[in-house]
Structure formats: C-alpha cells, structure tokens
Amino acid sequence: MSTRIAIAGGGISGLSLAYALLDKNPSLDVTVYEAEHRPGGKIYTEKVGHYLCEAGVNGFLDNKPATLELAQKINLPPIRSNDNARIRYIYFDGALRRIPTDPAKFFLSNFLSVGGRLRMMSEYLVPKKVYDDETLRDFAVRRVGSEFYEKLLDPMASGIYAGDPEKMSIRSCFGKVYDLEQNHGGLIKGFMAIAKEKKKSGGGGKVEAGPGGTLMSFEKGMYSLVETLAGILGPRLVTGKRVSGVDKKGTGYTLHFADGTQAETDVVVFTSPAHDTAAAVKEMDADIAKMLDDIPYPALSVVAFGYRREQITRDLNLFGFLIPAKEKRKILGTLFDTSIFTNRAPEDRVLLRVMIGGMRAQERAMLPDDQLIELSLSELAAIADVKADPELVRIYRWEKAIPQYHVGHYRKLEMLDAAAAKHKGLYLGGNAMRGVAVNDCIGNGFKLADQIVGDLSK
C-alpha cells in the first residue's frame, strides 16, 4: 500500500509541493484539499472584456530558478515583461520621481538631497553591528539614513509586503541585506565584494541598486500556472474541502473537514494560511496553533481600472509607482499592467491596478466598493494625472492578504520546526514561513518534498 499524503491548502505552495512529491515518487498517494472552490490562493487571473486582470500577484522574477524550472517541467512557456518594467517611480514632495537604477546615476541625481546622498555614501564607514534581529526601519536608518529609508525602503516594504517597516524583520524579510552586513561589514562593502566576485567569475562586475532579475509571467496570466498544475493533479486536487481539525490515529492522522466528513492519512502537510492551520491543529497542539495565530495578515484591496488609450495623457512607459507613508496619501501605489506585459489588453487600452490598505491602513481596504472606487480615482487624478472615467472597474478584496514577518520571525520558525518534529508525519509549509513570493513558495515546496521523501525512506 502506498503512503498516503494529505496536503491542506491548494495555493501555489500546496500545488507545487504535490507536483514535486509525485515527480519524485509517482507511487505516493497524494491528495490536496483546498478550502475554496478554486485553487491558487492569492493567484487569480480574470478575463473581463478586453482586459486580463490579476487579482493578486502579477509575475515572478527570473533571478531564482524555482518557477522557471517548474514551468519548463509542465510545458508552460513564460513571457518576459517589457523594458518598461524597469522604470519605477516614487511619489514624494508632490510629484512622481523616477528611481535611477544605476548606483552612480542615483548618487548624481537629485532623487535624494545632497545631505541624503552623503549620508547614504557614508554607510561605508558605519561599523558592523552584530545583532539578533531588528526592524527594517531601524536597520535602514542606522546604515543609510532616514531620508533613504523614507523615500525608498518604506514604500518598497509597502509594495512587496503591504507591511509596516517599523515592525518588519530585516532578517526574515530581506535576508540578503541582513547577510551583507553580517558577512561583509556593511552594504557598500558587500556590494563591492559581490561585484568583485562576479567579475572574477566572468559574470561582469555590475551590481544593480534596484530589484534584480526580469519580471516574468505567462501569456494568459499567472493563473495559468495554477490551472496547469491542477490539470496535472486531476482528482488528487479536491476543492471546497476545508480541513477544520486533525488528530493522531496510531502512526497516522485523521483529518476532519468542515462538511463533517473525515479522511485517514499517513502524512499531513499544512500549506494553508497560518490562521487556518492554527484553527485546524489547535486541539492537537495548542503551542503550534498559538505561534501560527500570532502571524498577522493585513487587509489589502486591489482596484483595477481599464481605459481607452486616448483617455490617458501621461507617459505610460513605466512599471508603476509607490508612495512613502510620510506623504500621507490614501493608496500604497499603482501598477501600469499594460505597460509591463503587452497582452493584458489590446494596444488601444490601458489597465491600471491600485493597491489600498496594508498593515498601516487596514480599515481603508475594507471600505464599501463605491468609496474604494472614488478614493482610487481621486488619488490617481492627483498623483498621476489620470482623470478620465474608466470603462472597466474591478475590485479584488483580500481580508487577509500577505503574512507579515515581524521582528523575531526566524525564532518563531525555529520553535515551530521543533514543535512539528514532535509529531512524526506532520509538516508545516506555505508562505507564512520562509518567503511570500511565488519563487519562494515553489522553491520551498520543492525543498519540503525532498524532506518528506527523505523521511519516508528512513
């Protein structure tokens, strides 16, 4: 009899884990249980008239191999974003300002004040601090100064995590940045060491200040990845089936579902959101449940607007813009989706997506639809000079959006790993643990598959 493996959670973490397990051992009896009636979690693409709208994530970077490798395995060709995807703006002092991506051009530009640029460059002289963890804000102000933090790192944190930099863990959210100080004594020293190593290995010595890699997606949107995996899994994926409880039964587990049914399994893996996993395991292990419940998920809304191109007077050669908290605007930023990927609408149409809410303004994300729309249009008019009436409006509301890695998150993971290890055959995964990006979810799913297959062979 083959080993039964139940995966609670049919987001990209659970789907990629299931695929990886079966790829490694096709004889495994793998079943994915998804609480909602569609798989994919926060990945969802909707075709609305002329437009292809992403409800959540709009792509992945090619600077990590996981998603590209999976796409190749399942014969799903990716598409590359336009060069416009590298043109990014920050709104401050009443105007949109382009971020220079080249370090030398950045220093010579007026993006920061003279004092701010000098403070940034003096980072080379800031002594290394050996520490356990600290907030993104404290780390940034200490190393590169308050102006660099306020104008760049604060809006970046909102854009990636919808988070609050005064609570976010530098170690868990930006581990590579943390390592630059710990391994090289500072950021500039670290960039110099990396550039030297790249040049030595023949990879060139250039190190970009902005996000590395090229943004990728798929012809019919990110949900193509979910649909393809779901098609491969077939009846192994069961939707509309919420795991509401779990208890040990001999050497295995009994899963209890919200519809009153049960299922027996030898191995159970939770890749569901932390709060859902906490509710399911609380009777079996209250400590695990408490730690998972302490991971916050702020509310976030995405409001999509579609326009005829002649309605928009501003330059559309940009990825989008983010807004620092000190500007006290009512949106986090906006993505110009048709400038990023050409097939998101016909050439005579423009698709924008506005982000509202996040850790510092959760109540705003939950406003009634008419207020969300009015607020978004008002902000677009004031910030980006987009004043036309849209022909498309679509709202995607996430009451619990992105898990937040607050200071001390890595210690929580250590305790969760230790607690889960006490229950043979129980595993914890998903984006609440070690990365929220698609690449992280898939890469960690593959690692977890290796661990499970290895454990089963012992």
Q: Tens of pLDDT along 397-412?
A: 999 999 999 999 999 9
Segment holding 90, helix H or strand E: strand 88-92
Number of neighbours of residue 449 by Cβ within 10 angstroms: 25
> What would the two tokens of residue 289 be?
């449940």
**Rounded Cα distance, 303 and 334, in Å:** 9
Confidence of residue 202 (pLDDT cuts 50, 70, 90): low
Last residue of a domain, one of 380, 398, 416: 398
Number of neighbours of residue 383 by Cβ within 10 angstroms: 20
Looking at residue 431, which CATH number applies to its domain?
3.50.50.60
Is residue 83 left, alpha or beta, with left meaning phi > 0 and alpha meaning psi from -120 to 50? alpha
Pairing outcome for strands 237-238 and 262-265 = unpaired
Number of neighbours of residue 208 by Cβ within 10 angstroms: 12
Asked if residue 70 is part of any domain, the answer here is yes
Segment holding 52, helix H or strand E: strand 51-54
Both 150 and 271 in one domain: the answer is no
- Mean pLDDT of all residues in 31-45: 97
How many domains, the chain? Answer: 3
User: Nearest 5°: phi and psi at 56?
Assistant: -135, -115
> What would the two tokens of residue 376 be?
């978004």
Query: Which string of DSSP letters, residue by residue, matches 353-377?
Result: EEEEE-TT-HHHHTS-HHHHHHHHH
Confidence of residue 209 (pLDDT cuts 50, 70, 90): very low
CB 433 within 8 A of CB 17: no
Cα first-last separation, the chain:
17
Contacting residues for 373 by C-beta, under 8 A, at least 6 apart = 303, 393, 395
pLDDT at residue 31, rounded to an integer:
98
CB 441 within 8 A of CB 273: no
For residue 437, the 8-state DSSP code is: S
pLDDT at residue 250, rounded to an integer:
86
Asked if residue 52 is part of any domain, the answer here is no
Asked if residue 48 is part of any domain, the answer here is no
Q: What is the tens place of the pLDDT at every residue in 359-386? A: 999 999 999 999 999 999 999 999 999 9
Both 282 and 417 in one domain: the answer is yes
Q: Mean pLDDT, the chain, as a whole number?
A: 94
Number of neighbours of residue 348 by Cβ within 10 angstroms: 10
pLDDT at residue 196, rounded to an integer:
83
Which is nearest to 428 in space by CA: 405, 448, 412, 406?
448
Both 238 and 386 in one domain: the answer is no
Of 35-49, 189-203, 417-431, the range with the lowest mean pLDDT is 189-203
Both 265 and 229 in one domain: the answer is yes
Asked if residue 92 is part of any domain, the answer here is no
**Rounded Cα distance, 121 and 104, in Å:** 11
Strands (E) in 318-448, as ranges, are 320-322, 333-336, 349-357, 392-398, 426-428
> What would the two tokens of residue 234 be?
């077939």
Contacting residues for 85 by C-beta, under 8 A, at least 6 apart = 214, 215, 319, 339, 340
Both 157 and 121 in one domain: the answer is yes
**Rounded Cα distance, 228 and 32, in Å:** 15
CB 10 within 8 A of CB 40: yes
**Rounded Cα distance, 376 and 343, in Å:** 24
Both 130 and 182 in one domain: the answer is yes
- Mean pLDDT of all residues in 233-257: 95
Both 272 and 318 in one domain: the answer is no
**Rounded Cα distance, 107 and 120, in Å:** 9
Q: Full-prediction pTM beyond 0.85?
A: yes
Looking at residue 144, which CATH number applies to its domain?
1.10.3110.10
Both 286 and 253 in one domain: the answer is yes
Asked if residue 213 is part of any domain, the answer here is no
Tell me which residue range forms the domain holding 250.
4-41+225-296+406-456
Asked if residue 271 is part of any domain, the answer here is yes
State yes or no: pLDDT of 211 exceeds 60: no
User: Nearest 5°: phi and psi at 333?
Assistant: 165, -175
User: Nearest 5°: phi and psi at 80?
Assistant: -95, 140
pLDDT at residue 204, rounded to an integer:
53
Asked if residue 69 is part of any domain, the answer here is yes
**Alpha helical stretches, state H, 54-174:** 66-73, 103-108, 114-121, 136-144, 146-148, 154-161, 170-173
pLDDT at residue 210, rounded to an integer:
45
- Could you tell me how many helices (H) and strands (E) the chain has, helices first? 18, 20
Both 292 and 417 in one domain: the answer is yes
Confidence of residue 105 (pLDDT cuts 50, 70, 90): confident
Both 287 and 326 in one domain: the answer is no
Asked if residue 328 is part of any domain, the answer here is yes
Both 364 and 429 in one domain: the answer is no
Both 288 and 414 in one domain: the answer is yes
